[in-house]
Structure 1
Amino acid sequence: MTTKPRLDFWQLWNISFGYVGIQFGFALQTANISRIFETLGAKVDAIPILWVAAPVAGLIIQPLIGHMSDKTWNRLGRRKPYFLIGAILSSLALIAMPNSPALWVAAGMLWIMDASINITMQPFRAFIGDMLPDAQRTQGFAMQTFFIGVSSVVASVCPWVFTKWLGIANTAPAGIIPPSVRWSFYIGGFAFLAAVLWTIFRVREYSPQEQEAFNVSTEAESADAITLDRKSCICQGLFLILAGAALSYAIFAQDWYAGLYIISGSIAFYGLLQLAAAARAKAGHTKGMVEIVADLKAMPKTMQQLAGVTLLTWFALYALFIYTTSAVTSFHFHSSDPTSAIYNDGANWVGVLMAVYNGVAAVVAFLLPPIARKVGRVATHMIALIIGGLGLMSMIVIKDPTMLLISMVAIGIAWASLLTMPYAILSSAVSHRKMGVYMGMFNLFLVIPQIIAAAVLGLLVKTVFGGQTIYALVLAGAAMVLAGFLTLFVEDKARDAA
């Protein structure tokens, strides 16, 4: 077997530089979409449902793009065609988003923008597994985390910088997105495309023949020969369709929160997908949907163990993303009026807070590989998640908005680890031939908790938390602490956890 060469610092830099653009887009979305929705008239308890575009887009796009990129090889490469297509679409969507004239248009643009970003982002995760030996994968994902942190800092503070330094207006008439936000998205559109083009032109992908030479006879290759169990698909498919239908009826009959239809619909959809795969397998098809479903049902044990950790972690993060603006402006700045100066000052401060936790993550990213070498990737991740969870819960104790910086430092430590360790652990447990599809499928465990959060957090805020969104962040912190302890059950199969 030919050994995959170790890469130097600048080669690692070039491989991951495209993430500057990807995260610039995501950070603008995280820091400003709730603000845009509220400006266009959304009620606070409806925001989670409007945000559901992001996880649903990822649920569909990432496994599909992962599967397709595993099978692709052309003059541009294996992953790079998807980098380019997604970057062009994302840049256009970022420019269009802040010009949405109505709430329904903004919600639709979020679907388009997030789907486009996912087309680019998913292959970048598999790219690390493609290009680096096991011994460098933690370092490779840490480099991505560094770029995620740095670009998120810049993107998150853009409205604040435009307002404080350039004098661009931070308020606007009711129903109009402030100019400081619009210009931030325009800069984001340019940065997205430019950064991705840098990686496309500066990195040469290994050919399929080179990949086979690097990976021949490795332990993970035994996972390649997967066949679909039609009987299992039919039984599970029918059960899931009936379960989804029953839950939908209960939601309707009991007049439960309408957001719960997201969960019942997702259950039924997966049941239909299994039946469709079984039907295609019976007709003699072995590729496409049949292969994706078979791979999903045969996911590696390590991936299954990471699932519970990731489900709880991303439930917490989704609460952070959608409720930080509302919680900080109402609990710490004492305003819920999007047209008021104090609300918009609070919203700008949220951008600064987002920048801080991402900046901390950028620094911590360089500390993770040496820490992981000392105590292991699993222990490193556990400690980071517990620290982050305590940081989230501290936001209800802290009354001074400035002191929230302490909370953000703790959250940044967790953010650095969850962007690095799970992917490094997973990349050591799957075949190179299925790196893309399993990295895409791993996104399911990021998406499912976001769908659950979208369905239930609004209900909890409205009925249990008395409209106080700060309690959603406390619940998120508890979920992240629990995720940290569940990490102890994850088996890291790395041949070298450097």
Structure 2
Amino acid sequence: MSRIFQTLGAGHDDIPLLWIAAPLTGLLVQPIVGYLSDRTWHPKLGRRRPYFLIGAILSSIALFFVPHSSVLWMAAGFLWILDASINISMEPFRALVADKLPESQRSYGFVVQTLIIGIGTWVASNLPWMISQLGVSDSAPQGVVPMSVKVAFGIGALVFLISVLYTIFTTSEYPPEDMEAFEKEKQKKNQFIPDIVNNIGNMPLTMKKLGVIQFFSWFAFFTMWSLANPALTEHVFNAPAPIEANFNMEILEQKEAFDVANTTFQKASNRVGSAMGIYGLSSMAFALLLTFYTAKRNINRKYVHMASLILGGLGFIGMYLIDNPEHLKYCFVLVGIAWGSILSMPYAMLSSSVDPKKMGMFMGIFNMFIVIPQIIAALGGINFISGLLGDEAINAMLVAGGSLIIAGLCNFLITNKSAISYQS
């Protein structure tokens, strides 16, 4: 998305605000979907799967049209639609893992989910590069997204729809234990707002402490998602996005110079995307190791998460220090270890600390600790803090590194033994 925004003329200081769609839609959509899915039972689709289906259809449509945006506001608008739709699918997926598994297997379950996410991240990040290697052009006129990116988004839309449909048709859900009581609860007057407010006020202490860790973790990753492309194309590949105002398009030589600079930027963006794909690959490898281990043994979730986040923070800081683009992959290996832990350990710890009957709602409320730091980052938090270090876009990666290390150290706050390690 950052690459598309830059192609359509956005400066790197504008990009975090353009990304605000993601956390805002999550803040609004996920608690609502979590609440509704707790109170849903469809005879054929069950509790969570109706939301998978709706979210997948809308997301796939938005994914297809995003790279065909002709102006910046259109791309930002499609991102709002895309993120709202993805959130409809995402929250019930997490709740489904907790629904399906006994407490003793939840670390294992969330780790397996992380493993599969890692595979998708690696493939998706490399798609534009893979497609360009097949001969699809990275070049495009000023203000037009290259065909390689358009094809990648189209493939993403198709894969997303097929994978969610596969889940819907091959996964069963357990009905409520007491269907009569469940139906009576559904027929009560809608108490959505009071229930949300009451559960926020009475959330378990462990959930609040995990929220602090989540705050710094997701501030860091939002910084990466929004600013890694401008930061790394400029600092590591020396190929920043050309600014149209610096070229006189009526002069042939200047137009040709712009086209060369733009193609160089697009190719550098492909390489940044491929490097970022490494974090999906390493999160997958990390999750695979945890999968084998947690299948038979308990782990100390607290210390695993702490060490993982600190390693990820060092990976972000390393992006500032390297002088060889080939070394970028090692930084993303470390970032991937943190990402693999973020997608599994907090949810495993949370699911051991909340009422199973309200799992969907609490997962939705927990999402507030994910989206609020992203909103703060988008509304100027990243620009302000990184601006204290200088004007270069790469300073944002230093901010991400520091934030992730703070998140790691905040794991010392977790003291609930059942959250730290399941005891049978």
TM-score for the superposition, normalised by structure 1:
0.76
Q: What are the Cα deviations for residues 1-43 of structure 1, in whole angstroms up to 9, with x where unaligned?
A: xxxxxxxxxxxxxxxxxxxxxxxxxxxxxxxx00100111111
Report the number of matched residues. Answer: 396
The separation in 1 between residues aligned to 2:205 and 2:194, in whole angstroms, is: 21
Indicate which of 69, 77, 83 corresponds to 1:108: 77
Letter in 2 for 1:345: K
Is there any run of 5+ residues in structure 1 with no aligned partner, and where? 1-32, 214-224, 226-283
Aligned equivalent of 2:34: 66
The separation in 1 between residues aligned to 2:178 and 2:270, in whole angstroms, is: 49
1:289–1:349 CA distance, 2 compared to 1 (3 A): same
Aligned equivalent of 1:330: 234
Q: How does 1:90-169 map onto structure 2 within 5 Å? A: 90-164=59-133, 166-169=134-137
Deviation of 1:125 (Å): 0.3
Letter in 2 for 1:204: S
The separation in 1 between residues aligned to 2:323 and 2:131, in whole angstroms, is: 27
Indicate which of 257, 265, 269 corresponds to 1:343: 265
1:290–1:201 CA distance, 2 compared to 1 (3 A): same
Contact 2:51 2:92 in 1 (8 A): yes
The separation in 1 between residues aligned to 2:383 and 2:422, in whole angstroms, is: 45
The separation in 1 between residues aligned to 2:172 and 2:27, in whole angstroms, is: 29
The separation in 2 between residues aligned to 1:482 and 1:211, in whole angstroms, is: 45
Q: In the alignment, does 2:322 pair up with 1:354?
A: no
Deviation of 1:298 (Å): 1.1
Contact 2:385 2:399 in 1 (8 A): no
1:291–1:101 CA distance, 2 compared to 1 (3 A): same
Aligned equivalent of 1:493: 418
Aligned equivalent of 1:49: 17
1:41–1:461 CA distance, 2 compared to 1 (3 A): farther
Letter in 2 for 1:493: S
The separation in 2 between residues aligned to 1:468 and 1:211, in whole angstroms, is: 59
Contact 1:87 1:117 in 2 (8 A): yes
Deviation of 1:337 (Å): 2.5
The separation in 2 between residues aligned to 1:211 and 1:478, in whole angstroms, is: 49
Deviation of 1:190 (Å): 0.6
Contact 1:393 1:473 in 2 (8 A): yes
Letter in 2 for 1:405: K
Aligned equivalent of 1:245: none
Aligned equivalent of 1:288: 192
Contact 2:69 2:75 in 1 (8 A): yes
The separation in 1 between residues aligned to 2:362 and 2:417, in whole angstroms, is: 16
Deviation of 1:462 (Å): 7.9
Aligned equivalent of 1:406: 330
Letter in 1 for 2:311: I
Indicate which of 175, 182, 194 corresponds to 2:143: 175
Letter in 2 for 1:119: I
2:140 aligns to what SS in structure 1?
coil
Aligned equivalent of 1:445: 369
Deviation of 1:496 (Å): 2.5
1:327–1:59 CA distance, 2 compared to 1 (3 A): same
The separation in 2 between residues aligned to 1:211 and 1:405, in whole angstroms, is: 52
Q: In the alignment, does 2:224 pair up with 1:320?
A: yes
The separation in 1 between residues aligned to 2:417 and 2:217, in whole angstroms, is: 18
Aligned equivalent of 2:247: none
Q: How does 1:342-421 map onto structure 2 within 5 Å? A: 342-369=264-291, 373=297, 375-421=299-345
Letter in 2 for 1:384: S
Contact 1:162 1:168 in 2 (8 A): yes
Q: What are the Cα deviations for residues 302-353 of structure 1, in whole angstroms up to 9, with x where unaligned?
A: 1111011110011111111111101111101112225523211211111111
- Superposition CA RMSD, Å: 2.1
Q: How does 1:243-258 map onto structure 2 within 5 Å? A: none
Between 349-358 and 487-496, the greater mean CA deviation after superposition: 487-496
Aligned equivalent of 1:249: none
The separation in 2 between residues aligned to 1:286 and 1:107, in whole angstroms, is: 34
Is there any run of 5+ residues in structure 2 with no aligned partner, and where? 243-258
Deviation of 1:432 (Å): 1.6
Deviation of 1:135 (Å): 1.0
Q: In the alignment, does 2:380 pair up with 1:476?
A: no
The separation in 2 between residues aligned to 1:458 and 1:199, in whole angstroms, is: 37
Contact 2:212 2:410 in 1 (8 A): yes
Between 291-300 and 57-66, the greater mean CA deviation after superposition: 291-300
TM-score for the superposition, normalised by structure 2:
0.89
The separation in 1 between residues aligned to 2:228 and 2:164, in whole angstroms, is: 29
1:431–1:448 CA distance, 2 compared to 1 (3 A): same
Runs of 4+ in structure 1 deviating by more than 4 angstroms, as ranges, are 210-213, 369-375
Contact 1:312 1:480 in 2 (8 A): yes
Q: What are the Cα deviations for residues 452-495 of structure 1, in whole angstroms up to 9, with x where unaligned?
A: 11122453378434431111111110111111111121124247
Aligned equivalent of 2:248: none
